[in-house]
A = this chain, B = another copy of it.
């Protein structure tokens, strides 16, 4: 298909497609004339993944490029590609190099070991957990990672179910898209449902 048709098939404006081509996010089409190229279904799928990484994950172009390079690198396993995408999604960890943060990081590492969870030593979520501990302590609350047990149990059952229902018949592009959407959109779903459940239980208690 020509670029105008690719635009129609993907819903992405021609000018944006040209920008992605220049930025190297979209591989060039097959050249058919000096000023013309032919695109195919792979381009449609790639544009779809770019849209998810940009609109749902709100990632900068640089991070999108890194994830796409990983998708295209046949030497990487699917698990490795998903790990790269997952790490790019954050959650953001405030930069703090102080002593309290270092102590909290060690406590979180020991806690995850006790849970028996196999997670990368560089997972940003380790820092996010440590930062929550520091924050609670700064407010004068006495907390240890064990106070997270109820959340860990809920997270474990949700994640087990999520991985169970992953459609593994998809190509790498589809699986990365699925992982990004699943992680971010369902995060918003859980957050909203927890707020509603809190209100419900508060209403019940107040009679």
A interface, CB within 8 angstroms of B: 52, 56, 77-79, 82-83, 86, 89, 91, 112, 117-120, 123-126, 128-129, 131-132, 135-136, 139, 141, 148, 150-152, 154-163, 177, 181, 183, 185-206
User: Among B118, B177, B186, B206, which residue has its beta carbon within 8 angstroms of that of A203?
Assistant: B118
Contact A190 B189 (CB under 8 A): no
Are A197 and B155 CB-contacts (below 8 A) given A132-B189, A187-B191? yes
Q: A126-B196, A148-B193 are in contact. List 4 more A-B contacts (CB 8 A).
A: A91-B192, A155-B193, A163-B205, A187-B191
Residues A199 and B123 in contact, CB atoms below 8 Å apart: yes
Name 10 A/B residue pairs within 8 A (Cβ), A-sorted.
A52-B139, A82-B202, A117-B199, A119-B203, A131-B188, A136-B181, A159-B200, A160-B197, A162-B201, A190-B190
**B200 engages A118 (CB within 8 Å):** yes
Which chain B residues border A162 with CB–CB below 8 Å? 198, 201
Give the secondary structure class of A's interface: helix
A154-B158, A203-B119 known; A187-B194 Cβ under 8 A:
yes
B91, B189, B197, B202: the one contacting A79 at CB < 8 Å is B202
CB distance B193 to A119 under 8 Å? no
CB contact between A163 and one of B136, B160, B195, B198 (< 8 Å): that residue: B198
What residue in chain B is nearest A131 (Cβ atoms)? B188
For the complex of A and B, 3 pairs with smallest distance between CB atoms: A159-B197, A155-B193, A125-B192
Please indicate the chain B residues that have their CB under 8 angstroms from the CB of A141 in the complex. 181
Interchain CB contact under 8 A, A79 and B135: no
Q: Do B185 and A198 have beta carbons less than 8 Å apart?
A: no
